[in-house]
Amino acid sequence: MQKVAFLFPGQGRVPRGLPAASRVGERLLSLAERKGLCLRERMREGRPELLEETSVAQPAILIDSLVKEEELRAAGIRPAIVAGHSLGEYAAAVSAGLLSPEEALAVVMERGRLMAGVRGGMLAIVKLPLDSVRAICEEIGPAVAVANVNGPAQVVVSGEADALKRVAAWAEGAGGRAIPLRVSGPFHSPLMARAEAGLAPAIEAVRVRPPTVPLVSSVSGRVEDDPDRWKALLLTQITACVRWGDVVEALVAQGATRAIEVGPGDVLAGLGRRITSRIEFLTVEEALDGRV
């Protein structure tokens, strides 16, 4: 018997158009408009430059992910376990019943606004081991840090522009590659401490419920089921390293056999295939096309 996981992506690729008509999508787009963010036209046009700013990208990706989650459920495909990468953890929290879609959107809009206010960037480092990447970050100092451990093939660092240039030069000299990510800030690093503090009231205002299906934390890398702990995890993930390799291993340990990336793009599916062969990774389109 297949055990299906839903995986929700973070702020990588933005939606390429307005999501399919759905009840949850219409509610959330209308709520965003009432809060002063007109996503409908931006998403309809589908031009990346209209959606890539952090304060816009985060709610747009959340809405796209939740509409696709609704499509999967309408097709009779339901998750036995869920997880999310960074921002995607909010869609995962909705899928697992911790938050309502409206609660998640309200927090994510504030999260995106706060994170957009911190300048910096991120680099994906490939072909170099985690210990070496950590060592160069420690050598450079607090202006740069390991942000994501996306498995054995990729480590992401966050930091200030000059520090990232030094990491990139080191990576190229050491035989690796440094790939700039299309984000505006040093996410998942201590440099985001001000944004984390600013988000605390919004997190505290929501009522986090016990999960209805197992939900793997990208901060701890394991299944977490305590609502109060989830409040703390959702807050501290802004500064904490994303342990995506550990998340995928936790899915394997929980018996997941198929994982569907529920959102724009196929970044998580690609990462997952490089981490394990024990899970079949699919896009939403592949799942709806009869692969599940």
Domains of the chain by start residue, with CATH: 4-117+190-291 (3.40.366.10), 121-180 (3.30.70.250)
Rounded distance between C-alpha atoms, residue 265 and residue 223, angstroms: 25
Q: What letters, b where the CB count within 10 A reaches 16 and e where it falls short, cover 97-110?
A: ebbbbebbbbbbbb
Rounded distance between C-alpha atoms, residue 141 and residue 163, angstroms: 8
Phi, psi of 59 (to 5 degrees): -65, -35
3-state SS, residue 190 = helix
Q: pLDDT value at position 47?
A: 81
Residues whose CB is less than 8 angstroms from the CB of residue 106 and which lie 6 or more positions away in sequence, other chains included: 31, 35, 202, 206
Q: pLDDT value at position 196?
A: 98
CB count within 10 Å of CB 49 equals 9
Rounded distance between C-alpha atoms, residue 239 and residue 219, angstroms: 10
Q: pLDDT value at position 128?
A: 96
CB of 39 closer than 8 Å to CB of 291 = no
Of the candidates 99, 85, 78, 90, the residue with the CA atom closest to the CA atom of residue 292: 78
* pLDDT tens over the chain, length 292 residues: 789 999 999 998 888 887 877 899 999 999 999 999 999 988 888 788 889 899 999 999 999 999 999 999 999 999 999 999 999 999 999 999 999 999 999 999 999 999 999 999 999 999 999 999 999 999 999 999 999 999 988 999 999 999 999 999 999 999 999 999 988 899 999 999 999 999 999 999 999 999 999 999 999 999 999 999 999 999 999 999 999 999 999 999 999 999 999 999 899 999 999 999 999 999 999 999 876 6
CB of 204 closer than 8 Å to CB of 186 = no
Condensed to tens digits (0 to 9), the pLDDT of residues 7-44 reads 999 998 888 887 877 899 999 999 999 999 999 988 88
Tokens, residue 225 = 């089921």
Tokens, residue 15 = 């939606």
Active site residues: 86, 188
What is the DSSP track for 22-83?
-HHHHHHHHHHHHTT--HHHHHHH--HHHH-SHHHHHHHHHHHHHHHHHHHHHTT---SEEE
Q: pLDDT value at position 291?
A: 66
Q: pLDDT value at position 242?
A: 98
The residue ranges of DSSP E strands in the chain, in sequence order, are 4-8, 81-84, 121-126, 144-149, 154-159, 177-180, 215-216, 258-261, 280-283
Rounded distance between C-alpha atoms, residue 65 and residue 83, angstroms: 12
Condensed to tens digits (0 to 9), the pLDDT of residues 43-76 reads 888 788 889 899 999 999 999 999 999 999 999 9
Q: What letters, b where the CB count within 10 A reaches 16 and e where it falls short, cover 184-199?
A: bbbbbbebbeebbebb
Q: What's the Rg (C-alpha) of the chain?
A: 18
Q: pLDDT value at position 287?
A: 95
pTM over 0.85: yes
- Give me the residue label for tokens 């002063």: 36
